[in-house]
Amino acid sequence: SAVISQKPSRDICQRGTSLTIQCQVDSQVTMMFWYRQQPGQSLTLIATANQGSEATYESGFVIDKFPISRPNLTFSTLTVSNMSPEDSSIYLCSVEDTLAGEQYFGPGTRLTVT
Amino acid sequence: GENVEQHPSTLSVQEGDSAVIKCTYSDSASNYFPWYKQELGKGPQLIIDIRSNVGEKKDQRIAVTLNKTAKHFSLHITETQPEDSAVYFCAASSSYNTDKLIFGTGTRLQVFP
């Protein structure tokens, strides 16, 4: 399975600021996904990011709040903009192994907004 | 759209006993059902999955069963060990986008030595 890293692993941010989260995978993948996991909750898909095209956002998530970049087949970023305490969550990236049809997750970024 | 329900929300077992977690899904067109284990402070780890053309799949102490007619699938862990303690999530693929996973609400499993 792919090895996925995320930076930063955790951060504490002031409300009104923005944070960019990086996701790096050790092999080329077509599809990358960004999820949010609120404290003690399940995983909710924010958007799907394919290289060379605009990210596709799920209902309730907008590009202005969560802009995503996907410059190549091994890297993506998610920005959480104009943060509020309600944005305090774990943000996870995942990749799909197209041949196996399986998704693998990174370790997550734990964000606290004060 | 797809909806996945997961039960129980918490499960406590004695070491060596079996644990069973059940999920139901709403969309009969869903065809892929993975299970993830999430330990504290870590990302979810894929532990086993099953596709709609198979009724059961085993991997050592872990097994998954799928009942397409009833639209439910279950995770079975035998001979539980303390290191099995974690939160387990089931998921089902969306029928209109098979790359999209819809997750259950999670089950916190505690295995007492």
Say yes or no for a CB contact (<8 Å) between B103 and A42. Answer: yes
Q: Using a pLDDT cut of 70, give the percent of chain B over it.
A: 96
In this complex, is the C-beta atom of B104 within 8 Å of any C-beta atom belonging to chain A? yes
What pLDDT, on a 0 to 100 scale, did the predictor assign at position A101?
82
CB A99 within 8 A of CB A33: no
Across A60-64, average pLDDT:
96
Q: Is the pLDDT of residue B95 over 60?
A: no
Across A77-95, average pLDDT:
97
Minimal-distance CA residue of chain A relative to B105: A42
Q: Is the pLDDT of residue A16 over 60?
A: yes
Which chain B residues are within 8 Å of A45, Cβ to Cβ? 100-101
Which chain A residues are within 8 Å of B100, Cβ to Cβ? 45, 48
In this complex, is the C-beta atom of A76 within 8 Å of any C-beta atom belonging to chain B? no
The neighbour count for residue B38, using CB atoms within 10 Å, is 21
Q: Using a pLDDT cut of 90, give the percent of chain B over it.
A: 81
Please give the Cα distance from A19 to B64 (Å, whole number): 39
Say yes or no for a CB contact (<8 Å) between A108 and B45. Answer: no
Question: B59 vs chain A: nearest CA distance in angstroms?
Answer: 16
Q: Is the pLDDT of residue A83 over 90?
A: yes
Of A7-21, A65-79, B7-21, B49-63, give the lowest mean pLDDT range. B49-63
Q: What is the mean pLDDT of chain B?
A: 93
Which pLDDT tens digit goes with each residue over B32-46? Answer: 999 999 999 999 999
Mutate to test the interface with B, among A42, A94, A105 (most CBs of B within 10 A): A42
Across B5-18, average pLDDT:
98
Across A103-114, average pLDDT:
97
DSSP chain A: ---EEEE-SEEEE-TT--EEEEEEESS--SEEEEEEE-TT--EEEEEEEETTS--EEPTT--TTTS-EEEEETTEEEEEE-S--GGG-EEEEEEEEETTTTEEEE---EEEEE-
In this complex, is the C-beta atom of B89 within 8 Å of any C-beta atom belonging to chain A? yes
Minimal-distance CA residue of chain B relative to A97: B99
**More reliable by pLDDT, B92 or A53:** B92
